[in-house]
Amino acid sequence: MKPKVLILRTAGTNCDYETDHAFQLVGGETSLVHVNQLIAGEVRLMDYQIMAIPGGFSYGDDVAAGILLANEMRYKLADSLAAYVESGRLMIGICNGFQVLVRAGLLPRLDAQGVQQTTLAMNTSAKFECRWIHLETQESNCIFTRGLKPRVYLPVAHAEGRFTAPFAVLNQIEANGQVVFRYAPTNGGTPEYPDNPNGSDRHIAGICDPTGRIFGMMPHPERFLTRLNHPRWTRESLPEDGDGLAIFQNAVDYVSELS
């Protein structure tokens, strides 16, 4: 049976089509589900094995990026989300989805209290930017990046992507192996702007929860699924699959292995 993937939508979600396409490419059975349907109980989270919160500007990112959807999850879906997480299923948040997971307290989830411990603040460049960046895959127990190559190339497109947290939290997620991706330099050294496109603390681009099953990242793996998505495919010889594909493949494989 194909793993069932719930792609969560709400007002302002806008990367749902390509995220849906990514999961379909790797053999997921996808459904686009509006958060209103979950709140109304028309759709049950527990019918799915993977939940994806795509990029976009949920509710216009009014107040702060992702916070309104995070609050809906926190206050209107608390029980079903807790049950979903406890049951060992997968969750990925990309860009705005990452902002939602952080603000909902689902990442880095250093304890089970659901308290927000980190944030994604305004870029140091103080503006929205769309560019391709290199990532260094870290040693972690993240399900989504198992076996991923050490260096991947993906686009970012955000205004609020600067990962920041108190020192103690940063130290702890590093010690726990919860840092999944860091921005990497194009040509060696440390990744200064624009290699680190937003000024993130310790160049952190993506983190997971202690179990490795909940994962969030600012860059967009769903935007690099084939060679033709790469900005330099007309001049470089590249493999047919894009760097982002393996992240979706890992999720689907994990669920398939379990069942």
Query: What angle (nearest 5°) sits at the alpha carbon of residue 164, between those of residues 130 and 120?
Result: 45
Closer of 85 and 225 to other proteins (Cβ) = 225
Which of 95, 142, 160, 208 is catalytic? The answer is 95
- The residue type at 104: A
The residue type at 170 = L
**φ, ψ at 100 (rounded to 5°):** -65, -45
Using DSSP, state whether 132 is helix, strand or coil.
strand
Query: Does residue 21 belong to the site contacting other proteins (CB under 8 A)?
Result: yes
Q: Is 222 part of the annotated catalytic residue set? A: yes
Distance, CA of 237 to CA of 214 (rounded, Å): 34
Give yes or no for residue 25 binding other proteins (CB under 8 A): yes
Shortest separation between residue 220's beta carbon and other proteins, angstroms: 7
Q: Is 233 in the site for other proteins (CB under 8 A)?
A: yes
Query: Which residue in 18, 72, 160, 222 is the catalytic one?
Result: 222
What string of H, E and C letters represents the secondary structure of 60-72? Answer: HHCCCCCHHHHHH
Query: Whose Cβ is closer to other proteins: residue 153's or residue 254's?
Result: 153
Query: For residues 20 and 209, which CB has a smaller minimum distance to other proteins in the complex?
Result: 20
In contact, 161 and 200? CB cutoff 8 Å: yes
Q: Is 128 in the site for other proteins (CB under 8 A)?
A: yes
Give, in order, the Cα–Cα distances in Å from 197 to each of 48, 159, 192, 205.
34, 10, 8, 10
95 is catalytic: yes
CB closer to other proteins, 72 vs 209: 72
64 binds other proteins (CB under 8 A): no
* CB closer to other proteins, 86 vs 127: 127
Query: 216 vs 15, 24, 179, 239, CA distance in Å?
Result: 15, 20, 10, 26
Smallest gap from residue 4 Cβ to other proteins (A): 20
- In the complex, which residues of this chain contact other proteins (CB under 8 A)? 9, 11-15, 17-18, 21-22, 25, 34, 36-37, 55-57, 59-60, 127-132, 155, 157, 220, 222-223, 225, 228-229, 231-235
Q: Which residues belong to the active site?
A: 95, 220, 222
